[in-house]
Amino acid sequence: MENHTPLPPASQAPRFRYYDLVMAAFVTILLLSNLIGASKPSYVTLPGIGEWSFGAGVLFFPVSYIIGDVLTEVYGYARARRVIWTGFAALLFMAFMAWVVVQLPPAEGWPGQEAYEFVFGNSWRIVLASMVAFWAGEFANSFVLAKMKVWTKGRHLWMRTIGSTVVGQGLDSLIFYPLAFYGLAGWPVELLWQVVLSQWLIKTAWEALLTPVTYLVVGSLKKAEGVEIYDTDTDFSPFASSKG
């Protein structure tokens, strides 16, 4: 159960105008960042350091965490929980569809099967790592932000968004890359941990840099929806039923 300011009667639960759109944006970015960039390591050349590796998906995947912050801040943990489970189901279906399509025999003369398998034929190890990391990271992110909102009485949004990202993205990176790539050819231990650290730092930096955008979106949505939610009595179990 959630506290609202003002708190409407139970029979008059708020009807949100933009919740579905925010959910759609979250799931879209989640799927595309996992489909296109998750398994490709890239690099930048840093002065005095040389080549520094990072996962290519880091350029866009953090946007899903920013949207997750917006969801929890504006609509509360319970509704963010529904979106996280929706994203999880979408990831599962994407993995199943990719497996089916890759396994289908190609038409005679079609030259793209090998490339198709390379791009879309992720092992179930990578799929499992992606899902576990997403699930743990997103729920940790939402939980920390919701709790910090209550502790700070709604002040210091920047502290909540960055703090929750440090925890959520840290878990995501720490789980995904070792679980997906440890021991595989082309992924020496040094590269693996370099990518983990890079992912964590870059994702957190993205959150900090986009803080003005987060403020703008959160402020606009709260004004449009006419609600301020504090999760003072919320059941934070990821498996609790979500209403609203």
244 in any annotated domain: no
Number of domains within the chain:
1
81 in any annotated domain: yes
Average pLDDT for 64-90: 94
Task: Give the CATH number of the domain where residue 40 resides.
Answer: 1.10.1760
34 in any annotated domain: yes
Between 35 and 115, the more confident residue is: 115
237 in any annotated domain: no
**What is the C-alpha separation between 62 and 202, in angstroms, rounded?**
9
Which contiguous run of DSSP H or E holds residue 41?
strand 41-46
Between 195 and 101, the more confident residue is: 101
> Residue 3 pLDDT more than 70?
no
Residues 161-182 as b/e (b if ≥16 CB within 10 A, e otherwise) read: bbbbbbebbbbbbbbbbbebbe
69 in any annotated domain: yes
> Residue 150 pLDDT more than 90?
yes
> Residue 166 pLDDT more than 90?
yes
pLDDT tens for each residue of 10-32:
334 567 999 999 999 999 988 88
**pLDDT category of residue 221 using cuts at 50, 70 and 90:** very high
99 in any annotated domain: yes
Average pLDDT for 84-93: 94
Task: Pull the structure tokens for residue 77.
Answer: 């943990």
Q: So what's the pLDDT on residue 37?
A: 67
Q: So what's the pLDDT on residue 189?
A: 86
Q: So what's the pLDDT on residue 211?
A: 93
pLDDT tens for each residue of 18-71:
999 999 999 998 888 777 766 677 888 888 888 877 767 777 777 888 899 999
42 in any annotated domain: yes
84 in any annotated domain: yes
What domain range includes position 138? Answer: 3-104+111-230
Smallest CA-to-CA distance from 66 within 229, 214, 230 is with 214
Average pLDDT for 179-192: 83
Q: So what's the pLDDT on residue 141?
A: 95
**What is the C-alpha separation between 208 and 165, in angstroms, rounded?**
9
Q: So what's the pLDDT on residue 11?
A: 38
